A and B are shown apart, each in its own frame.
Chain A
Amino acid sequence: MIADWIVVGGGHNGLTCAAYLSKAGEDVLVLERRDVLGGCGTSEPAIPELPGFTFNPGAFDLLGIREQPFFRDLELEKHGLELLTVEPMFLMPFPDGHRIFFWRDLHRTAEEIATISPRDAERYVTWVEFWAQAFEMLDPINTGAPPSFAAMASLMEDSPEVEELLRVMMMPARQYIYETFDSTQMQGLGAFMALQTKSSLDQPGSALAMTELVMSHYGGVYRPRGGIGQVSAAVARALESYGGRIQPEAAVAEVLVQDGRVRGVRLEGGERVEARKGVVTAIAPQTVFLEMIAQEHLEQAFLHRVRHLQNDNTAVIKAYYALSAPPQFSPVGDDGSRPEFRIPAAMITPSVDYADAMWAEIRRREIPAHPWIWCTFSTGLDPSMAPPGQHALGLHCWVPYALADQRDWDEAKEEAAMRMFDTYCAYAPNLKDKLLGWAARTPKDWEQIVGIPKGNNFHIDMVPHQVFGFRPLPELSNYRTPIGGLYLTGAGTHPGPAITGLPGHNTAQEILRDLGKVEDD
């Protein structure tokens, strides 16, 4: 095999980068180790004995996808992506019988919050409006290589809002949560959101993760009909329509370098694939430099920095459950007649104390007894995900990569999956005897199936020293590497994880700039 450009990894970012290059007339070949495209964003029949069910083993919801460049530029709707609107966007149930629906409409959401705390409802509106303005400023930073801090600073003028923004960006979430909300429930919401980046509530900078909720109000939440894998399927169709090629079941073992320039790759089977112009790796950056390139091609000091990229052992487990009935959230006022209970993703972390307990359990390297859980009941919006009358549920939470009791994850899988299910059933007790089957993807599975180091779905941690122009390292942040013709993309590059296509888009723009195909802006 031979191509001008080889892209290693057929996750949505590798495919997106390849599609932009193909669209610009480049000859591109994507090499994917699996027989399924999409990486952490696939849709698959994850329970072998129940093939009629389709699950999303990783990602499930799309935030603000209509605003993303790849959605428009690659004409994903024309290539078969059908978006279903998730409304309400989220449901937060609490053990005391309260619940909050988060609607796209901010004021409708505030009315929900006011039933718990009128003051928090007001604060929520102010908080969302503040961050919406901040995102108007921050969003363009994400649609290209991260600008230098000097460039960003040159645009800033002193104002109370800018000072507030900088203050909060350095804050630990705990501080920001207590400063912003009074009620235990809204503090729980803040903790849930902050924990999304797998940082402790005391990590400086962790407050920023709370703002995902803000983006949802402005960009909306969507789910592709047929599952999240339809995003990558649509990108792949776009890529092929531009003449690009995809080779599944082609695991890359080595990136071949000669005289400081990338020459191609070697597959696990031994076959060499020549790259006439370059190689883009759309997998974790530490894997590329520490496992795929002969060390003599890289400086020791550089390798030392890559070796110390933060990937601090917090990983993800996602379990899938085939059900014979939909959930009924009777403890929080669901009599089964209101469809809005069965549409949104539910978020379980009822208080800061609960979040602290979970974090302590993870630090002790235990399976959390207080799991922070994202819950997606997919058949509520898209019945095609299960046979008629049956239902599909996905639950995921953070777990330690290695358990303190030395158990292998294959052994611990069931305990973790059932603990999440039991926690969910506390809010949807009707499901206790409705389980038809289950499966789970543990950190070990993520590592073995998708190749993500330590089962970290962010490829490297999302912490302040690994974001913007520091992701994955300052010297790699514009997607170029010390090896000529070798570029990085994917969740380990700016702006990081999530199904946004942004790393793929941004890397392609930098390559096309180097090729003289886009103007130097």
Chain B
Amino acid sequence: MPTAQRTFDVQAPAAMVWAFLSDLERLGPCLPGCTGVDLLSPTEADWRMETKIGFIRKRFVVRTRTTTLEAPAHAAWTGESDELIASGTIDVRPRAPDRTEVTYRGTVKGQGPARQLLNRYFKSRLDRDIDAFVANVRTALQPEAAPVSDP
């Protein structure tokens, strides 16, 4: 299953980072390709995603649920659409009053008739996507950082 992990620092207090990353409505838009979020309940949301692979432009809605919420340090979520199953974990550790270390681990797996091919696509871009996610989180929490959008 294509999986990627990054540990990175954010120049913001841990409480602020936790509040942001444990909120599906604010987390979703940091994922490259997310074009909108419909919050269904405090722990459930639809992430509207659009991905472009060469000439293929695929739109899908990922129904996402928070599965673990151990404030203020650890959260986990899962998501599913017709095309994929995804999950993520977030670990937040204060390093200094205004500096927080975040570990994000994401997995994504194709579903349906094209699952093998989708997995190869996911594998080929997961590293790039997770780097874009890190940059987007930083931009949201430290506004001076530059945003990275889905290519």
Contact = CB atoms under 8 A, between A and B. Distances in A.
Interface of A: 133-141, 143-145, 147-148, 150-152, 154-157, 159, 161-162, 165, 519, 521
A157 B124 contact: no
A133 to B, nearest CB: 5
A53 to B, nearest CB: 41
A157 B60 CA distance: 13
A136 B116 contact: no
Nearest to A521: B119
Contacts, number: 62
Interface string B53-66: 11111100000000
A150 B55 contact: no
21 contacts: A133-B54, A133-B55, A134-B55, A140-B123, A141-B117, A141-B120, A143-B120, A144-B120, A147-B117, A148-B113, A150-B113, A151-B114, A151-B116, A155-B56, A155-B58, A157-B58, A162-B55, A162-B56, A521-B109, A521-B110, A521-B116
Interface residues of B, number: 21
Interface in B110-145: 110, 112-121, 123-124
Interface of B: 1, 53-58, 109-110, 112-121, 123-124
A448 B53 CA distance: 44
A255 to B, nearest CB: 29
A510 to B, nearest CB: 11
Contact of A137 (B55, B110, B115, B119): B55
Contacts of A521: 1, 109-110, 115-116, 119
Contacts of A159: 55, 57
A145 to B, nearest CB: 8
A152 B54 contact: no
B55 A151 contact: no
Contacts of B55: 133-134, 137, 159, 161-162, 165
A67 to B, nearest CB: 9
A165 B113 CA distance: 22
A156 B56 contact: yes
A148 B56 CA distance: 17
Given A151-B113, A154-B112, A521-B116, A136 B53 contact: yes
A115 B140 CA distance: 49
A211 B112 CA distance: 31
A143 B2 CA distance: 14
A81 B21 CA distance: 44
B56 A137 contact: yes
Contacts of B119: 521
Given A134-B54, A157-B57, 10 more contacts: A136-B53, A137-B56, A139-B124, A143-B120, A144-B116, A148-B113, A150-B113, A152-B117, A155-B117, A162-B56
Query: Quick one: which of A140, A143, A151, A161 has the most chain B CB within 10 A?
Result: A140
Contacts of B112: 154
Given A519-B1, A521-B109, A521-B110, A157 B117 contact: no
Given A155-B58, A521-B109, A521-B119, A137 B53 contact: yes
A494 B13 CA distance: 53
Given A140-B121, A521-B109, A521-B119, A152 B53 contact: no
A166 to B, nearest CB: 10
B120 to A, nearest CB: 4
Nearest to B58: A155
Contacts of A145: 116
A154 B113 contact: yes
A156 B117 CA distance: 12
Nearest to B1: A519
A135 B55 CA distance: 9
Contacts of B116: 144-145, 147, 151, 521
Contacts of B54: 133-138
